[in-house]
Amino acid sequence: MKIEKVLSETCFHGVGIRLGGLIQLIQRLASQLVCCYNDDVFMVLRVRLGCLIFLTCWLASGFHRVTCWDKAVISIEIRVGSDDEGGLTKALDSVFPNATRLLCTKHIKDNVSDHLKNKIGSNDKERNEVLDSIFGSTGLITAQDQDELNEKATHISACYPNFNTYFQSRLKERLYEYVLKPRNQLQHVDLWTNNNCESINHVFKTAINWKPQSLPELVKTLHDLVKLEFADLRRALYSQGNNLLFGYFKRHQLLYQCWLTKTPDQKIALFKN
């Protein structure tokens, strides 16, 4: 499953869109929205701030990628990962119906463990056995297709009848659709978790000192963090910072001494190209 959008630099220049202007526009609109609407209205519309930020970042990253290549045509395949929070997953399915969506296996495992312990009353031994039958090295998540999944699922249902209702109604299909299928399609060895998302979430909360902000203030804070991230990305050009160039992009690598000889305009050009 994928959604493709064809974007060109000419298109963006034609309508005069710049990232700075986009941020300013969002700030102006946000200040008006704060005055006119409350959180209940947004909940009714199923518009969540997290989804708004995600969409904004997606559009901004798409714009940046377009301007990095001279009038390039970019095909974007959207992959979205999250925990299993109901409001968020419904919003993502509504806004990005054709995206490849993944669920965090750590959150799923924690939810299963919590259900076994607090809803069913399983002891530690049985709980570990159930978790291993699903997430272990030969568990259900290692299935290569629907038939193998059904075979392993039948075994789990037979061995743990008290767990069967939750497993069949809540867990089995979600594991297949949002863990197994994406993993096999993308040929990932490891199971996906949103640990990195949790990490950047902590960065966001630290930036606002764990206190609510108005939407314009929040947009500015996010903008400042994105600028900091871009500065760190630039450092990868001369092998410093938290990122490394790989594959096709290694051809842009420079010696640090060479980077120091460049003018500000030359550095910007090197980063965009």
pLDDT at 32 over 90: no
Residue 113 shares a structural domain with residue 126? yes
Which tokens sit at 93?
């399915």
Residue 59 shares a structural domain with residue 133? no
Q: Report yes or no on 110 lying in a domain.
A: yes
Higher pLDDT, 26 or 152: 152
Higher pLDDT, 94 or 164: 164
Q: Report yes or no on 28 lying in a domain.
A: yes
> In the predicted model, what is the mean pLDDT of residues 245-254?
84
Tens of pLDDT, residue by residue over 92-109, are 888 888 888 899 999 999
Tens of pLDDT, residue by residue over 59-86, are 444 444 333 433 343 445 788 888 888 8
Q: Report yes or no on 174 lying in a domain.
A: yes
pLDDT, position 175: 94
Tens of pLDDT, residue by residue over 106-160, are 999 999 999 999 999 999 999 999 999 999 989 999 998 889 999 999 999 999 9
Residue 57 shares a structural domain with residue 141? no
76, 100, 124 — which closes off a domain?
100
160, 186, 212 — which closes off a domain?
186
Q: Report yes or no on 44 lying in a domain.
A: yes
Q: What is the pTM of this model?
A: 0.58
Residue 87 shares a structural domain with residue 57? yes
Burial class (CB in 10 A: 0-12, 13-18, 19+), 157: middle
Q: Report yes or no on 151 lying in a domain.
A: yes
User: Helices 49-68 and 86-95 sit at what angle, rounded to 10 degrees?
Assistant: 40
Residue 156 shares a structural domain with residue 173? yes
Tens of pLDDT, residue by residue over 171-230, are 999 999 999 988 888 777 788 888 877 888 888 889 999 988 888 888 888 889 888 888
Residue 94 shares a structural domain with residue 161? no
Q: Report yes or no on 60 lying in a domain.
A: yes
100, 123, 140 — which closes off a domain?
100
Specify the number of domains making up the chain: 2
Q: Report yes or no on 57 lying in a domain.
A: yes
Question: φ and ψ at 101, to 5 degrees?
Answer: -110, 135
Residue 53 shares a structural domain with residue 148? no
Q: Which distant-in-sequence residues (6+ apart) come within 8 Å of 191 by Cβ?
A: 105, 135, 141, 179, 183
pLDDT, position 92: 83
Residue 72 shares a structural domain with residue 3? yes
Residue 87 shares a structural domain with residue 147? no
Tell me how far apart the alpha carbons of residues 87 and 15 are, in angstroms, rounded to a whole number: 34
- Residue numbers of the domain that contains 83: 1-100
Residue 80 shares a structural domain with residue 56? yes
Residue 89 shares a structural domain with residue 119? no
Residue 61 shares a structural domain with residue 130? no
pLDDT, position 103: 92
Q: Report yes or no on 168 lying in a domain.
A: yes
pLDDT, position 185: 83
> In the predicted model, what is the mean pLDDT of residues 228-250?
85
First to last CA, the chain: 30
pLDDT, position 76: 59
